[in-house]
Amino acid sequence: MTALRMKLIGEMRFPGRPEIVSDIRIYVARWLVVALPEVADDGELLDNLRLLATELAGNAIKHTISGRWSKGSFRVRMWLSAGWVRVEVTDQGWWSGPRLRDDPGGSGGRGLHILEAVAKKWGVKRRWFGRAVWFELPVSLPAAAPPDAGPVRDSARAQVGVAPQNHVEIVERSA
């Protein structure tokens, strides 16, 4: 998707608290439906979008300083391109990539397996302070380029400084 034009359709910074995860589900679905009303009836796409965004937000809260520090936060961004929607969760985690766990008897650790099974592509980018985990899902668009609606921003978002956007691609996986 990097070769195609991507349009930012939503962005918000969230406090790193577990009770915020349900808000992520609402925002990502709203951003996509506002930008592309035709997907409002695509239950499978919206369910997958909510599931994966929630999983990445939960991982940011549980496994990084984003959720362990009283002032921790993470950012969710969403782009739309011809045939794709991309969601990126930038947390205050280490520059190392997240790890897939293979413990069938464990009570957790299946989130990245779900991500790998559902997303068409996913990966990790290094950020100046932390990392960004992203995924892409296919979406049906009209034959024209992505809509020009502009990003949906919430005026109530927490005002937290944004790190510079210098990054290096670490890993990219395709289903």
Query: 3-state class of 96 per DSSP?
Result: coil
CA–CA separation, 148 and 87 (whole Å): 18
CA distance 146 to 27: 19
Residue 80: which domain range? Answer: 7-174
Predicted local confidence at residue 145, as pLDDT: 46
- The count of structural domains within the chain is 1
- Whether 47 is covered by a domain: the verdict is yes
| 3-class SS of residue 35 | helix
Among 55, 66, 67, 127, residue whose Cα is nearest residue 92: 66
In a domain, 46, yes or no: yes
CATH of the domain at 107: 3.30.565.10
Query: Within a domain: residue 83?
Result: yes
pLDDT 10s digits, 21-71: 999 999 999 999 999 999 999 999 999 999 999 999 998 888 787 877 788
Ranges of H-type helices in 64-99 = 65-68
* pTM over the 0.85 mark: no
**Residue in the block written with tokens 């439906």:** 33
Which carries the bigger pLDDT value, residue 148 or residue 48?
A: 48
